[in-house]
Structure 1
Amino acid sequence: MKRIRYFFEAVLLYILFIFFKILPPATASNIGGWIGRTIGPKLAASRKARRHIKRALPDTSTQEQDNIIKGMWDNLGRVIAEYPHLEHISRTRTEIIDLGQLDQYIQDKATPILFIGGHLANWEVNGAATLTQLKHPIDLTFRAPNNPRVAKILDKARTLNGRLKAYPKSRDSGRLIMKTLKDAGSLGILIDQKYNEGIEVNFFDMPAMTNPIFVQLCQRYKCPLIPVRNERLDGCSFRLTSYPPLETFNEDQTPRAVEDVIKDAHQLLETWIKERPEQWMWLHHRWKD
């Protein structure tokens, strides 16, 4: 039964991709947003999102929670519809703001770079814009869907038909990730998902199991740890903002405590989410129930 279900899920996604691809990017995004905000709030998953919003943003009213949930589904619907247009959107509808000498780091071909971000706005634009606008190749990590057929369709889109490398999060991908940094390449990691084997660090003042690998890699390969924020501005227009690198070493060049670096990263994420809560994925099992 699972194989049959996976097959039909992949067929449905493929048909949607064809439909959205023949439309102009803005039209596709608008239709995807309409589908998302019309259907999403009625799904059982919205109850989980509301629980998370109540815990992370306890001062929000019921109406504000409703608006965040509706906006979240609108954003997710747009993300799906924008997959077939990622190259165009990342190249022509994305503004990049550099607050931390990103250009200098990119020009230094001898030093690897590790970018971190979260599931904000259309997070798939992050890597695509790095390639299409900055002409800087970047390897990506992602959590693969359970359906391998769906994973293959999404992977083709996020890598711009293979022009980027993307590694599913697993023990086996660790070797490839380390090779990227060892060879002075760039790597992008989204750090806002639960990781059962990680360490417990507060996120919105609640314990959250977090993968420390992004800090450990930076300290091992002595590469800058650059936070990148993605904001949806209007329809399918975006703004990427790169921030100054987080401090991963003390003044005496000894490694900072991993937990302290993660706290700094979480603080940035919290700020971004609070400013645009409807653009974050509240469906994640980020905290213990």
Structure 2
Amino acid sequence: MAGELFGKKAQRWAARLAPLRLLLQSLEALVLLLFLALAALLPPKRASSFGAALAGWIGPHLAKHRHVERNLAFALPEGAPGEREAAALGSWRTLGAVLGEMPHLGRLADLERRPPAVELCTAKGAEDIPDRLARGEAFVFVTAHLGNWELLPRLLVQLGGKAAVIYTPQGNPLTDSLLQRLRRSPGIAFIGKQGGVRALLQAMRRGESLGLLVDLRSDEGEAIPFFGVPAMTSTAPARLALMAKAELVPVRVERLAPARFRVTVDRPIEPRDSVASAQARARDMTEQVNARFAAWIRLRPGDWLCTKRRFPKEITPPLAPDRGA
């Protein structure tokens, strides 16, 4: 992130010089702290709108905007340039809104507030999952960077469950510490990505459901179709579900308005060939996860935060059709 705020040249120098790296990280953390402090003073809706407007203004001028545009070219191959541009702006606005809502996560996830900020739904085939969660059953929940994914661990606790969230610490430990402070809440454990399979299985044995964001590129994963393109995707959620004999449950978050959401617990994903090898079943289940994510993103592309490269460099994205021809 420091490279985005201060330029790639400064980032290269910071990689060599520890004092410069600390200075840039401190400045980045200070900017984030000031933003979060202001967001905390505002009501949730205004904080969300403020963050969306700010990120929507800054984001398109950053180098990472090329990743947003390229990812959306794969996601919306039939979209006109104007549709893709609107979706790209929406992606940055999603980032800003999520950051603006960070100080208000507890309030937004409180299902007993009237009116609630979250409309909680279950799809056909998933109606009993909230009751089973409250009885102590553990699941492997997967979601994408849609709407506001930060709400999900708190919602699991609101429903009577316990959550273990797998996360990758940010490169800047100062900003990572700020965000983790806002994420912490009773009933939620955070396990680093490198914590290992054993730690995750132990968490599930304690009745903790796992929460994973799996729409990002994973160089340790497999080339799984995503929007019809082979893209490196983690099969870990499916493998964990198979090892723990737990259900793999996708969850969709839709932003209805500033600080207002619909969260849908979708039907569990099962391997289409129950007698295939564990590797084949995990791959099949991951293909189904990617297909659901792709369908959700196509319906609301502006809800998808996609500022990191998702697809292989060597594959050329499709050109937007010329609607004026």
TM-score range, shorter chain: over 0.9
Conserved 8 A contact 2:143-2:212: yes
Q: Distance in 2 between matches of 1:75 and 1:129?
A: 20
Match of 1:288 in 2: 312
Match of 1:245 in 2: 268
Match of 2:238 in 1: 215
Q: Does residue 181 of structure 1 match 2:200?
A: no
Q: Distance in 2 between matches of 1:213 and 1:70?
A: 31
Match of 2:132 in 1: 105
* Correspondence for 2:103 among 80, 84, 93: 84
Q: Does residue 263 of structure 1 match 2:290?
A: no
Pairs within 5 Å for 1:139-150: 139-150=164-175
Match of 1:278 in 2: 302
Q: TM-score, normalised by structure 2?
A: 0.83
Match of 1:27 in 2: 46
Amino acid across the alignment from 1:235: P
Q: Distance in 2 between matches of 1:258 and 1:80?
A: 33
- Shift in Å, 1:239: 0.9
Q: Does residue 123 of structure 1 match 2:122?
A: no
Label 1:142 to 1:236 Cα distance change in 2 as closer, same or farther (>3 A).
same
* Correspondence for 1:151 among 176, 198, 204: 176
- Shift in Å, 1:263: 0.9
Q: Distance in 1 between matches of 2:75 and 2:107?
A: 35
Q: Distance in 1 between matches of 2:63 and 2:275?
A: 51
Conserved 8 A contact 2:242-2:282: no
Q: Distance in 1 between matches of 2:74 and 2:255?
A: 24
Conserved 8 A contact 1:112-1:221: no
Q: Distance in 1 between matches of 2:276 and 2:219?
A: 30
Conserved 8 A contact 2:252-2:265: yes
Count of residues in correspondence between the two structures: 285
Conserved 8 A contact 1:93-1:237: yes
For 1:189-245, what per-residue CA distance to the aligned partner results, in whole angstroms no more than 9, with x for missing partners? Answer: 111111111111110111111111111111111011111000100111011100121
Q: Which secondary structure does the structure 1 equivalent of 2:146 belong to?
A: coil
Where structure 1 has 5 or more consecutive residues not aligned to the other structure, the ranges are none
Q: Which secondary structure does the structure 2 equivalent of 1:14 belong to?
A: helix
Label 1:234 to 1:223 Cα distance change in 2 as closer, same or farther (>3 A).
same
For 1:173-203, what per-residue CA distance to the aligned partner results, in whole angstroms no more than 9, with x for missing partners? Answer: 5432221112232110111111111111110
Report which stretch shifted further, 82-91 or 92-101.
92-101
For 1:90-119, what per-residue CA distance to the aligned partner results, in whole angstroms no more than 9, with x for missing partners? Answer: 11311111220212321442x421101111
Q: Which secondary structure does the structure 2 equivalent of 1:115 belong to?
A: strand
Q: Does residue 201 of structure 1 match 2:201?
A: no
Q: Which secondary structure does the structure 2 equivalent of 1:284 belong to?
A: coil
Label 1:27 to 1:220 Cα distance change in 2 as closer, same or farther (>3 A).
same
Label 1:248 to 1:13 Cα distance change in 2 as closer, same or farther (>3 A).
same
- Shift in Å, 1:43: 2.0
Match of 1:67 in 2: 86
Pairs within 5 Å for 1:26-45: 26-45=45-64
* Correspondence for 1:192 among 201, 210, 215: 215
Q: CA RMSD in A?
A: 1.8
